[in-house]
């Protein structure tokens, strides 16, 4: 299970390193900075709960609600669809056992990483 945080870190770094470092553009919607922070925080939380099924189940359900609320407030269509898609993915995740918790964590991390990549492309 020690590899899961490493996978998460690698995915976040890869998503963040895909664009060159430049000065922030004033014309970008605020969601370009807010959505990745929210998703990244949730992925870190899931990673820390990967071996605790009950806590992870609660965390994923709460995250789905929070991410969906965030999506509802986003004006940019591409970003909104990406964030709502992640909320929908979280709602489909079922956690019943310790093994399913690990699988759920990996699924959530993959979905969150993909969402951050979509947001990055929409904000480029």
Tell me the pLDDT tens digit for each residue of 93-104: 999 999 999 999
Measure the CA angle with vertex 79, ends 18 and 32; round to 5°. Answer: 60
Structure tokens, 72: 């509802």
Flag whether pLDDT at 39 surpasses 90. Answer: yes
Whole-structure pTM value: 0.77
pLDDT of residue 12: 57
Instruction: From 104, 108, 106, select the one nearest 96 (Cα to Cα).
Output: 104
pLDDT one-digit tens code per residue, 46-93: 999 999 999 999 999 999 999 999 999 999 999 999 999 999 999 999
């Amino acid at each position: 299970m020690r590899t899961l945080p490493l996978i998460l870190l690698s995915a976040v770094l890869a998503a963040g390193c895909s664009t060159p470092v430049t000065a922030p553009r004033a014309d970008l919607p605020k969601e370009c900075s807010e959505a990745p922070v929210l998703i990244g925080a949730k992925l870190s939380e899931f990673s820390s709960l990967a071996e605790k099924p009950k806590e992870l189940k609660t965390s994923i359900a709460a995250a789905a609600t929070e991410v969906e609320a965030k999506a509802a407030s986003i004006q940019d269509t591409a970003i909104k669809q990406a964030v709502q898609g992640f909320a929908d993915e979280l709602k489909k995740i079922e956690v019943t056992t310790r093994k399913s918790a690990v699988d759920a964590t990996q699924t959530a991390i993959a979905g969150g990483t993909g969402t951050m990549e979509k947001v990055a492309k929409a904000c480029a």
